[in-house]
C-alpha cells in the first residue's frame, strides 16, 4: 500500500484502497506401517459410545450490532497445540477393529454421543458432538455449532469448546467414513474419533484421514490426554481453507497450529498433542507503528452514520467480528464517549471520564485508550464504528471525529482505533491508534494514551497527564501484547522527593519511562518516599512533577535494586 502523510491526502484516495465491508501420553510402538500390522497385539476395541441426537447445519454471519448483554472476562485456561506422540504412535484406523461408520452422517452434519468421562481444560465431559467437517464439540453440539466455515482460534462465535484436527469443508457422502469407538491397551482407554478417507466437498480426489484420541478419567493414568494423529492427506483443505487447532469453552482462548496456509500443515505421520494450562501473564506495549491506512481515515468518507444515542459519559456495547488481543479472542466491545473502548463488553462501572494510569486493577480494565479524557460528543463532532477492508484483510474501526473536551468546545480531538479481525488473510493480533487534528491537551490537561490487560495487572502508558509524548495530527501507534518474560529479573527502585530545604514532599508524582515510551508512575508518601516494585532491568528516565516545584529528570540504568534515588527541587 502506498503511504500518505496527511489525512487530507488520505481522504482523496481512501476509496482506492478500502471498501466498506458488509456487516454482514505414550506407547512404545513402531511407526505407522508397523502399527497397521501389529495393532491387535496392543489395542482392543471396547463398545462404541451411545449416540444421543443429531442436528442439522446452521448459517453464521459477521456484522456489527448493538450487544444485548455483557460478556464475561476471558478464560484463564490457555491452550497449546504442538508436536507430540499419540497413544499408538501414529494413525490407527478404527475399521481394523470392526467398528462401523457412524450411521446417518451426511454433508455438514453433527452427531452427539454419550461417552465415558474425560477431562479437558479442567472440566469433565461425558458428551461430545462429532462434526462431518473435521472437528468435535466438547459437551455436545447444537445446530449453531455445525459449520463448514473454518475459524481462526480463538473466536467467541460458535462453535466453541472445539477440538479441530482438520476443520475444512468435508463431505462424507462422497466417500470415506467417520467412526467413533473406545480402544484400550489393558491399562488405559481412549475415545477415538476417526475420519477415514473423507473427501473435500466438491473434490472427491482430495481425501483426508485423521483422528482424535482422548484419554479417560477412569484410566490407570487419568488426567487430560488429547492427541491428533494423521494418515494419508491429499490436498490442503477445501479451497485451501483449513484450521488445525483447539479452543476453550467460551471461545476466548484457543490455539491455531495451522490456518489457511499459515503454519505447518499436517501430513501422513503427523502427531500433535493438545494441552491446557493456566494462562501466563500478558504484557502490553504502546509504541510508534504504522496503521493500515498510513494515517487517520474518517469513517464519514464511507457513509457510516454516527453511533445513535451517544451522550456525555456514555458507553455503548457492540457485537463485532471476532478479533484477538492479549492472547484472548473477543467479539464484543464497549465504546466509551470519553475516548476509549473496553474489550469484551461492559457494565456501568466501566464508564468514566476520569482517566487512569495503566495498569490499574480498578474498573475499567481490558482497555484500549487512544485518547481517554473527559469528552462530550453532545457538544460537537461524532463517533462512528464500522469495518473497512482492503480486499484481503478487514479491520474494525472506531472513530472519534472532532469530539470536544467537556468544558471547552474549542478543544476538539480526532482519532481512531483499528482492530484486525481473525478472519483475515493475516489473522494475528493487529491493533493501532491513529490521530487527526488535535486541539488542546485533554480536559484540564488530563489524558491517558495507552492500553491495559483484562485484569488490570499489566498495561502501558504512552502519554499520561503531561508525561510522555502527546499524540498530534499524523501520529500512529501500535498496541502489542506478549507473554510477560518469566526469566527477566524484577527489582525495586526507591528514593525520596525533597523540597529545596530538604523536607519530604508528599503527593509528588514520580514516573519511570523506558526506551519504548512505556511509563510507570507512583505517588510519594506523606514523608516524600516512593518505591517502584517489579521493575525489569533496563534504562529509564525518572522524573518528578509536583505543584510549585520543578525537578530535573535523569536517566537511571537499573541493573539491580536501587535505593536512595532522591530528587531535590531546584
Q: Tell me the average pLDDT across 410-424.
A: 94
Measured over the CA atoms of residue 348, residue 349, residue 350 and residue 355, the dihedral's sign is positive
In whole angstroms, give the CA distance from residue 541 to residue 524.
17
Q: What is the pLDDT of residue 28?
A: 21
Confidence of residue 103 (pLDDT cuts 50, 70, 90): very high
Mean predicted confidence (pLDDT) in 7-30? 33
Question: Does residue 24 fall inside a structural domain?
Answer: no
Instruction: Give the helix/strand (H/E) hosting 33.
Output: helix 32-38
Residues 149, 190 share a domain: yes
pLDDT of 490 > 80? The answer is no
d(CA 479, CA 347): 24
Residue 262 has pLDDT above 60, yes or no: yes
Per-residue pLDDT at 20 exceeds 80: no
Counts for the chain of helices (H) and strands (E), in that order: 2, 37
Alpha-carbon distance of 93 to 271, in angstroms, equals 14
pLDDT of 68 above 70: no
Looking at the structure, tell me whether residues 331 and 471 fall in a common domain: yes
Residue 116 host element (H or E): strand 110-120
Confidence band of 346 (pLDDT split at 50, 70, 90): confident
Residues 339 and 314 in one domain: yes
Task: Tell me the pLDDT band of 72, cut-offs 50, 70 and 90.
Answer: low
Return d(Cα 153, Cα 169) in angstroms, integer: 17
pLDDT confidence bin for 345, thresholds 50/70/90:
confident
What integer is the mean pLDDT of 440-459? 94
**Is the overall model pTM greater than 0.85, yes or no?**
no
264 within a domain of the structure (yes/no): yes
Q: Where are the alpha helices (DSSP H) in 112-234?
A: none
Residue 395: which of 38, 64, 108 has the closest Cα? 64
Residue 455: C-alpha distances to residues 151, 328, 481 (Å): 26, 12, 14
pLDDT of residue 352: 97
Confidence category of residue 65, pLDDT binned at 50, 70, 90? low
Hey, CA dihedral for 266, 426, 482, 327, is it positive or negative? negative
Confidence of residue 74 (pLDDT cuts 50, 70, 90): low
Tens digits of per-residue pLDDT, 292-331?
999 999 999 999 999 999 999 999 999 999 999 988 899 9
Residue 94 is assigned to a structural domain of this protein = yes
Q: Are strands 476-483 and 262-263 parallel, antiparallel or unpaired?
A: unpaired
Strands 490-498 and 567-568: parallel
Same domain, 316 and 211: no
Tell me the mean pLDDT in the region 45-63.
Answer: 35
Q: Which residue, 198, 237, 223, 210, is CA-closest to 105?
A: 198
336 and 322 within one domain: yes
pLDDT of residue 127: 96
Q: Percentage of the chain with pLDDT > 70?
A: 85
Instruction: Indicate if the pLDDT at residue 360 is higher than 80.
Output: yes
Residue 540, domain member (yes or no): yes
pLDDT band for position 37 (cuts 50, 70, 90): very low
Residue 362 has pLDDT above 70, yes or no: yes
Predicted confidence band at 216 (pLDDT cuts at 50, 70, 90)? very high
3-state percent helix, strand, coil for the chain, nearest multiple of 5:
10, 45, 45
218, burial (CB in 10 Å: exposed 0-12, middle 13-18, buried 19+) = exposed
Q: Lowest-pLDDT range, 233-242, 346-355, 493-502, 510-519?
A: 510-519
pLDDT, tens digit (0-9, with 9 covering 90-100), for 491-528: 778 889 999 999 999 899 999 998 778 889 988 887 78
**Mean pLDDT across 8-14:** 34
The whole-number average pLDDT for the span 179-188 is 92
On the 0-12 / 13-18 / 19+ scale of CB atoms within 10 A, 452 is buried
Tell me the average pLDDT across 377-404: 96
Same domain flag for 384 and 420 = yes
Can you tell me the mean pLDDT for 98-114? 95
Whether the pLDDT of residue 256 is over 80: the answer is yes
Last residue of a domain, one of 459, 483, 507: 483
Are residue 215 and residue 343 in the same domain, yes or no?
Answer: no
In a domain, 25, yes or no: no
My answer on whether 239 and 294 are in the same domain is no
Residue 459 is placed in which grid cell? 498495561
Is 372 a member of any domain? yes
**Whole-number pLDDT of residue 223:** 84
pLDDT of res. 12: 35
Domain shared by 331 and 440, yes or no: yes
pLDDT band at residue 73 using 50, 70 and 90 as cut-offs: low
The predicted model gives 275-280 an average pLDDT of: 82
Say whether pLDDT at 60 is over 90.
no
477 and 423 share one domain: yes
pLDDT score, position 232 = 98
Shared domain check, 214 and 110:
yes
Mark which of 216, 247, 278 sits at the end of a domain.
278
* CATH number of the domain residue 550 falls in: 2.60.40.10
**Of the candidate ranges 71-85, 523-537, 544-558, the one whose mean pLDDT is the lowest:** 71-85
Would residue 26 count as lying in a domain?
Answer: no
Decide which of 448, 483, 518 is a domain's last residue. Answer: 483
pLDDT score for 54: 30
Q: In what order do the strands lie in the sheet with 448-452?
A: 65-66, 315-325, 328-336, 340-343, 367-372, 448-452, 459-464, 467-468
Q: Is 2 inside a domain boundary? A: no
Q: How many CB atoms lie within 10 A of CB 89?
A: 21
Q: Which residues contact 420 (CB under 8 A, 6 or more apart)?
A: 292, 323, 393, 394, 395, 426, 427, 428, 429, 430, 431
Can you tell me whether residue 353 is helix, strand or coil?
Answer: coil
The average confidence (pLDDT) of the chain is 85
Residue 279 has pLDDT above 80, yes or no: no
Most confident of 14-28, 49-63, 294-308: 294-308
| Domain hosting residue 365, numbered range | 7-16+282-483
The verdict on 532 and 451 lying in the same domain is no
Instruction: Indicate the number of domains in the chain.
Output: 3
How big is the CA angle at 70 (ends 64 and 76), to the nearest 5 degrees? 105
Amino acid at each position: 500500500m502506498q503511504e500518505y502523510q496527511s489525512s487530507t491526502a488520505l481522504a482523496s484516495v481512501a476509496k482506492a484502497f478500502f471498501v466498506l465491508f458488509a456487516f454482514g501420553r505414550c506407547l512404545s510402538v513402531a511407526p505407522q506401517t508397523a502399527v497397521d500390522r501389529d495393532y491387535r497385539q496392543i489395542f482392543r476395541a471396547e463398545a462404541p459410545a451411545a449416540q444421543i441426537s443429531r442436528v442439522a447445519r446452521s448459517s453464521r454471519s459477521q456484522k456489527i450490532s448493538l450487544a444485548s448483554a455483557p460478556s464475561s472476562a476471558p478464560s484463564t485456561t490457555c491452550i497449546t497445540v504442538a508436536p507430540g506422540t499419540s497413544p499408538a504412535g501414529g494413525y490407527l484406523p478404527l475399521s481394523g477393529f470392526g467398528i462401523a461408520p457412524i450411521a446417518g452422517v451426511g454433508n455438514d452434519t453433527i452427531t452427539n454421543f454419550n461417552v465415558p468421562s474425560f477431562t479437558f481444560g479442567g472440566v469433565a465431559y461425558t458428551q461430545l458432538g462429532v462434526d462431518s467437517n473435521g472437528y468435535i464439540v466438547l459437551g455436545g453440539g447444537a445446530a449453531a455449532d455445525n459449520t463448514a466455515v473454518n475459524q481462526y482460534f480463538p473466536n467467541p462465535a460458535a462453535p466453541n469448546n472445539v477440538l479441530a484436527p482438520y476443520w475444512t469443508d468435508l463431505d462424507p457422502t462422497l466417500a470415506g467414513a467417520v467412526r467413533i469407538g473406545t480402544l484400550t491397551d489393558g491399562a488405559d482407554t481412549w475415545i477415538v474419533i476417526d475420519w477415514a478417507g473423507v473427501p473435500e466437498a466438491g473434490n472427491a480426489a482430495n481425501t483426508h484421514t485423521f483422528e482424535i484420541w482422548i484419554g479417560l478419567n477412569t484410566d490407570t493414568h487419568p488426567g487430560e490426554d488429547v492427541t491428533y494423529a494423521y494418515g494419508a492427506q491429499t490436498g490442503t483443505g477445501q479451497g485451501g481453507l483449513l484450521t488445525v487447532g483447539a479452543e476453550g469453552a467460551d471461545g476466548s482462548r484457543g490455539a491455531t497450529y495451522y490456518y489457511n496456509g499459515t503454519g505447518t500443515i499436517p501430513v501422513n505421520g503427523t502427531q500433535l498433542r493438545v494441552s491446557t494450562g493456566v494462562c501466563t501473564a500478558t504484557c502490553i506495549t504502546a509504541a510508534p507503528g504504522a496503521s493500515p491506512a498510513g494515517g487517520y481515515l474518517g469513517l464519514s468518507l464511507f457513509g457510516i452514520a454516527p453511533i445513535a444515542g451517544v451522550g456525555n459519559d456514555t458507553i455503548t456495547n457492540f457485537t463485532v467480528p471476532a478479533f484477538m488481543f492479549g492472547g484472548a479472542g473477543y467479539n464484543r466491545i464497549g465504546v466509551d464517549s470519553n475516548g476509549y473502548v473496553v474489550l469484551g463488553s461492559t457494565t456501568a462501572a466501566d464508564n468514566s471520564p476520569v482517566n487512569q494510569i495503566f495498569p490499574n486493577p480498578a474498573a475499567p480494565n481490558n482497555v484500549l485508550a487512544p485518547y481517554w479524557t473527559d469528552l462530550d460528543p453532545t457538544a460537537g463532532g461524532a463517533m462512528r464504528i464500522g469495518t473497512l477492508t482492503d480486499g484481503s484483510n478487514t479491520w474494525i474501526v472506531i472513530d472519534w471525529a472532532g469530539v470536544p473536551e467537556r468544558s471547552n468546545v474549542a478543544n476538539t480531538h480526532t482519532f481512531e482505533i483499528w482492530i484486525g479481525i481473525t478472519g483475515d488473510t493475516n489473522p494475528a493480533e493487529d491493533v493501532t491508534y491513529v490521530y487527526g487534528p488535535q486541539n488542546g491537551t485533554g480536559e484540564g490537561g488530563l489524558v491517558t494514551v495507552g492500553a491495559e490487560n483484562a485484569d488490570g495487572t499489566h498495561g502501558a502508558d504512552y502519554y499520561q497527564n503531561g508525561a510522555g509524548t502527546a499524540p498530534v495530527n499524523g501520529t500512529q501507534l501500535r498496541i502489542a501484547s506478549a507473554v510477560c518474560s518469566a526469566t527477566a529479573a524484577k527489582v525495586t527502585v526507591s528514593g525520596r522527593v525533597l523540597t529545596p530545604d530538604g523536607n519530604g514532599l508528599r503527593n509528588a508524582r514520580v514516573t519511570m519511562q523506558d526506551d519504548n515510551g512505556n511509563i510507570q508512575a507512583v505517588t510519594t508518601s506523606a514523608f516524600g518516599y516512593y518505591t517502584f516494585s517489579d521493575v525489569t532491568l533496563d534504562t529509564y528516565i525518572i522524573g518528578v512533577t509536583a505543584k510549585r516545584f520543578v525537578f530535573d529528570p535523569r536517566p537511571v540504568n537499573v541493573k539491580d535494586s536501587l535505593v536512595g534515588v532522591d530528587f531535590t527541587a531546584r
